[in-house]
Structure 1
Amino acid sequence: MPSSPSDAPEPVGPRSAPTSIETELAGARRAVVERDQQLARRRLAEDGLRAAEAELATARAALADESADVARLESLSLARVWAGLRGNRDERLDAERAEQQAAEYVAATAQARVTSAARELSAVDHALHALGDVAARWVSALAAKEAWVHGSGGPAAARLAEVAERTGALRAEQVEIAQAQTAAEHAAGALGAAAGHLRSADGWSTYDTFFDGGMLASMVKHDKLDRAAGLLREADAALRHLTVELGDLGEQGVGGVAVDGFTRTLDVWFDNVFTDWSVRNRIAEAQDRVLAAGQAVDGVRARLAQREHAVDAELAELAGRREAALLG
């Protein structure tokens, strides 16, 4: 007996997500769009308020000047006496009062614009507040859809898993980049401090060498060198830490601009008696090394900034792919 149409198997195809998930996803998307629109309005409202406030400040300054002119003619002042002698005080006072009234009108108009702009900004802020945490809602809606997709299996789930895996790797890389950038900033600061004390030591060494600075100059010079030695040790440690952080990213360190010999070289200065010329040469050598290390660190910072930008761009692209897979 042939089967009836009602007994025929349903066509096999991709399952649709539950209505509740799709409804929330659509609502969250509308909220994101409305939030972006309100934020654009807010930027315009802020610009309008700043412009209105600047206009009001100008108008109030002009009004103050006009009011001062009227006050001078109304009071017992040299201006009033001179105007009275010339016989035109009343005419001038009327003119000044007219200009004052005109300035009052301009100031009142500007104040009204400020009030209107502030009201517009307040309305936008109220609308944004009413939307609630749009970003969290959108993240939650996407997560619910993603969980359903993973549970249903299929090609979409595999694509999302690939995106999630790559996103996780990039998030971890962001952390490593941030740590390396912090280490690079610390190294740059330590090198800058060392360079400053070396310059000071160099100046005192020059004075001691060429002008026979005597015991006082020698004491100051060696105090500067002591401090420079300590700062160079700090810079050396900072550069070593930077090299470790760069290693976590698969990057080379400051390559060939190490400062391993700084501390040992400086220790020799104080353990042995060298001529002033020898000390000056040592300072010059240290300055050259610090300069080279600083340039290397600057190069590292530039590379890290480029890598950070590349990671951000790829994360944005992956986020787009994820949303497309979930909204499709």
Structure 2
Amino acid sequence: MNETMQERQMALTMKRNEYARVCRRLDDAQTRLSAAVAENRQLERALTKEQKDVMDLGKFSFLNKLKEWTGSLDTRMEKEIAEAAAAEVAYNESVKHVEDLEYEVSVLKKTAADPDYAYLDEEWAAFIEEKELWIRMNDETSQATLQKIADDRVRIRSMMREVDEAFEAGEKAERALDRAIDKLSNAEGLSMWDTFLGGGLLVSALKYSEVNSSDDLVHQAQRALRHYETELMDVQEAATASFQVNRNDIFTFTDLFFDNIFSDFAVHSRITEGKQKLNGVLQDVRRVQSRLMQKKEASEAELVRLDADEKRILLG
């Protein structure tokens, strides 16, 4: 097949592959958005219930007054506030997740509506008709081999582009995880002081400032990991295990208001556990990044081989 026709086929095939990938991602993002909206509504109902439980305990009644005198109200109030705080964190993260997916869907819809894709099917059909005529008039063994080389080259280059995009997403995920881990390390140090060295109200406040500051950083890490997973789905034979951070393991307890060694220790343990989970995810990302790099190197070697095969045929 002549060089011009090979170049046209390569360009059209890559465009068709890209459009198919955009459509596939759009379908997936819309499905995930529907599930996220449903989960958001469920979490909102749970938060409303927890808030009502706290408010009900605060209402005056002779029964509540009796519980207060006997000391049982404080214990129950502490439990209800902790449950409401956990429900609030889960709901807030769900809201951010829905917003992320809405943005992702809007971008993909805009990309899918690109005028460059409008007549792609017609362009491909016209090219196939022209190609079939050319092959009937030039049926030689070497032409079939050149076509196979051209097809392999398109496939490999498309895959390499997907590997590059996945690798770039992985680098962003690594940076986001590093930032979140650094912030939790600061909180962990303050929590150690507060828990075992009697840091007092000021240290407790500083500790929560660091924990609360980590909130957006952890969310950014989650968002980067979700994008990384999406990119990995496009890479054949790449690891696509879920890298989901359970952000509910990192939320504010109530020892700032009920300051005692038991709640302090629980917060310290939870911060440490959350940091360990983030470190584990970071190691998973780095392992997959290494595999992506190996896949790219193998693909580059395959392109070199194809170039050599083509040169042997063309130069005899």
TM-score, normalization by structure 2: 0.53
How far is 1:153 from its partner?
3.6
Alignment CA distance shift 1:267-1:316 (3 Å):
same
Name the structure 1 match of 2:182. Answer: 196
Matched length: 179
| Residue number among 203, 225, 234 corresponding to 1:248 in the alignment | 234
Q: Does 1:319 align with 2:303?
A: no
CA distance in 1, matches of 2:226, 2:239: 8
Name the structure 2 match of 1:217. Answer: 203
Name the structure 2 match of 1:166. Answer: 152
Amino acid at match of 1:227: S
Name stretches of at least 5 consecutive residues in structure 2 with no aligned partner.
3-133
Name the structure 2 match of 1:265. Answer: 249
SS at match of 1:275: helix
Alignment CA distance shift 1:255-1:270 (3 Å):
farther
**Any idea what the Cα deviations from partners look like across 1:259-315, whole Å, max 9, x if unmatched?**
1x21x2334537996811011111111111011101101101110010000100000
Matches within 5 A, 1:82-161: 152-161=138-147
Contact 2:211 2:251 in 1 (8 A): no
Alignment CA distance shift 1:252-1:240 (3 Å):
farther
SS at match of 2:250: helix
Name the structure 1 match of 2:296. Answer: 308
Q: What is the aligned-residue RMSD (CA, Å)? A: 2.4
Name stretches of at least 5 consecutive residues in structure 1 with no aligned partner.
1-16, 18-148
Amino acid at match of 2:287: G
| Residue number among 269, 274, 278 corresponding to 1:281 in the alignment | 269
CA distance in 2, matches of 1:276, 1:250: 47
Q: Does 1:239 align with 2:225?
A: yes
How far is 1:257 from its partner?
4.8
Runs ≥4 residues deviating over 6 A: 270-274
CA distance in 1, matches of 2:240, 2:187: 26
| Residue number among 283, 297, 302 corresponding to 1:295 in the alignment | 283
Alignment CA distance shift 1:325-1:244 (3 Å):
same
Which protein, 1 or 2, shows the higher relative CO under an 8 Å CA cutoff with sep ≥ 6?
A: 2
TM-score, normalization by structure 1: 0.51
How far is 1:247 from its partner?
0.7
Name the structure 2 match of 1:132. Answer: none
**Any idea what the Cα deviations from partners look like across 1:91-125, whole Å, max 9, x if unmatched?**
xxxxxxxxxxxxxxxxxxxxxxxxxxxxxxxxxxx
**Any idea what the Cα deviations from partners look like across 1:36-68, whole Å, max 9, x if unmatched?**
xxxxxxxxxxxxxxxxxxxxxxxxxxxxxxxxx
How far is 1:240 from its partner?
1.2
| Residue number among 192, 196, 202 corresponding to 1:206 in the alignment | 192
SS at match of 2:253: helix
Amino acid at match of 2:253: W
Amino acid at match of 2:312: A
Alignment CA distance shift 1:254-1:159 (3 Å):
closer
Contact 2:232 2:240 in 1 (8 A): no
CA distance in 2, matches of 1:249, 1:185: 16
% identity of equivalent residues:
31
Contact 2:232 2:239 in 1 (8 A): yes
| Residue number among 165, 173, 178 corresponding to 2:164 in the alignment | 178
CA distance in 2, matches of 1:223, 1:301: 33
Amino acid at match of 1:295: Q
**Any idea what the Cα deviations from partners look like across 1:216-259, whole Å, max 9, x if unmatched?**
21121111101222211111111111111111113455636531
SS at match of 1:269: coil
Matches within 5 A, 1:12-23: none
Alignment CA distance shift 1:293-1:270 (3 Å):
farther
